[in-house]
Amino acid sequence: MNPRPLLSLAGIVKSFPGVRALQDGRLELRPGEVHALLGENGAGKSTLIRILAGALAPDAGSLLLDGAPVHLRSPHEARRRGISVIFQEFNLVPAMSVRENLFLGQEQASAGLLHHDAERKAAQRLLDRLGATFHPDTPCRDISVAEQQLVEIAKALLHDTRILVMDEPTAALSGREVDRLFGIVRDLRSQGIAIVHVSHRLDEVFALCDRATVLRDGRHVFTGNVSELTRTALIEHMVGRSLDAEFPRRHPTMGPARLVVRNLQRGTAVQDVSFEIRRGEILGLAGLVGAGRTEMARLLFGADRPDSGTIALDGIPLRIRSPRDAIRAGICLLTEDRKHQGLVLNHSVLENFGLPNLSRFSSLGFLRQRSEVAALRTYVDELRIRIPHTDQRVGLLSGGNQQKVVLAKWLETEAEVVLVDEPTRGVDVGARFEIYQLLHKLADAGKAVLMISSDLPEILGMSDRILVMHAGRITGEIADVPQATQADVLRLATAESLEPAGPTSASTP
């Protein structure tokens, strides 16, 4: 019943200047298991993974591989010992082909000359094993995120990996891609490989994982069989307190339509999209990655320009040619990619907060920093943003706190239309609940809220009405959300049985 552990970490301690990232990190892996590594942001998961990857050396603690103590001095050594880590940010050279990426650092060559054919054959074998359909000579920048992930997995297999660590592997994948990934993971498990699955999505833990380890505040708090766990129990382990519900309750009161969008079009990404958001409504926008949801939101915000279509707020047509116009018109967009589009990471919380609001905090072009700080402080209290001081670099904050800073900067613009794209991606459970409460508060204040999310429980739990997009079009609407299931949303999102159809004909009752 209890096979000998393949790897066991115990008492791992790791400190950074000013932060104790891990105080008691523990992890035990058995061959042929999928092991969930869970915890809120800042719990120490990333640090533990980086120690496993050989990228960080622990200050104290033991690491046993096959029962023998080892020191992983470099990523190279970790790989040599059969440990591969796939980080969220892939380590691929975009301009190089899949094959070149696979063999980067261990090129098949003699006397410095590459054996292209041998490489190509080996690459093809690996890709076939993973069910990949792209050619090994395709440049990596030309394949999708899901396919790049396959390349990363193939790279790990090429190194005779026995332990494969995947950091939030499903964060950027659509439903079907997730299914395929899980199929591959199960296949690898049957070959005796131990897989560590790091994720914020509890559904995945129950669907895929055999055992789970939970970290909290740098300490190990729980390890056990997933089959003996409930969702609530798992969340309580992670946050360290009992939760009443995953989503806050709310009784929406809705008014007339505020934002009215008609026939919005941009290439093939967004085709003939029409909808409206009512006063006080949270409109959920579901769909697979690449369905055109983000692209549509960017059109509303002026980040890209539509080919055609109209946007009106409270009956007044808007001319939006840039984000500046949108902000002036009262529209804000919380982007899905917080780090690259939402924040200037190496700048302070204050500077990020002020960026879209500088005209409010200045006179004659000169900043009035005192009023800026005062405004920020009200949000720090209201949103419970945990920062040591307002000059803290935003890049050093946890995902949840970063997201709160982005929310604060947009709330301060007093936007009437709030577009949020994956608002809880990379945000821990506790902060998630607070963000949900905030969205409710905005809707209750009469604003029009559009929430894009790939997290189906979130879409179902938060929306007053759900629109589903597929291939650039709106393929359905779910008006009676409490009665809808994840399957209903998925059916509309994949739109397999549906030929191009209007929004109403595909709606569920």
Is the CB of 199 or the CB of 335 nearer to another protein?
335
For another protein, which is the closer residue by CB, 148 or 402? 402
Torsion, Cα 86 88 89 92, to 10 degrees, reads: 30
Count CA within 13 A, CB hemisphere, residue 56: 21
CB of 381 to another protein, least distance (A): 9
Q: How far is the CB of 451 from another protein (least distance, A)?
A: 18
β-bridge pairing 211-216 and 34-38: parallel
Q: Taking the complex as a whole, how short is the minimal distance between the CB of residue 47 and another protein, in angstroms?
A: 8
Q: Cα dist. 41→99, 288, 397, 402 in Å?
A: 35, 25, 10, 11
- 40 contacts 429 by C-beta, under 8 angstroms: yes
Angular region, 131: left φ>0, alpha ψ -120 to 50, beta rest: left
Minimum CB separation of residue 136 from another protein in Å reads 32
- Please provide residue 35's backbone torsions phi and psi, each rounded to the nearest 5 degrees: -115, 120
- Report in angstroms how near the CB of residue 398 gets to another protein at its nearest: 10
Least distance CB 85 / another protein (angstroms): 18
Which residue(s) pair with 165 in the sheet?
85, 196
* Least Cβ distance, residue 237 to another protein (angstroms): 24
- Asked if residues 208 and 182 have their Cβ atoms less than 8 Å apart, the reply is yes
What is the 3-state secondary structure of 253-290?
CCCCEEEEEEEEEECCCEEEEEEEEECCCEEEEEECCC
Closer to another protein by CB, 172 or 492: give it. 172
CB of 241 to another protein, least distance (A): 24
Interface ranges with another protein (CB under 8 A) = 16-17, 19, 21, 301, 303, 322-324, 326-328, 333, 335, 340-347, 351, 354-356, 358-359, 362, 365-367, 373, 377, 380, 387-391, 393, 396, 409
Return the SS3 of 343.
coil
In the complex with another protein, the residue whose CB is nearer, 214 or 376, is 376
Of 153 and 419, CB closest to another protein: 419
Nearer to another protein, 141 or 377 (CB): 377
Give the SS3 label for residue 111. Answer: coil
Residue with Cβ nearer another protein (13 or 254): 13
Three-state DSSP state, 395: helix
Nearer to another protein, 60 or 344 (CB): 344
Nearer to another protein, 33 or 336 (CB): 336
Cα 99-102-106 angle, rounded to 5 deg: 110
> Are the beta carbons of 199 and 38 closer than 8 angstroms?
yes
The sheet with strand 257-266 has its strands ordered as 270-278, 257-266, 308-313, 316-318
In angstroms, give the least distance from the CB of 415 to another protein: 11
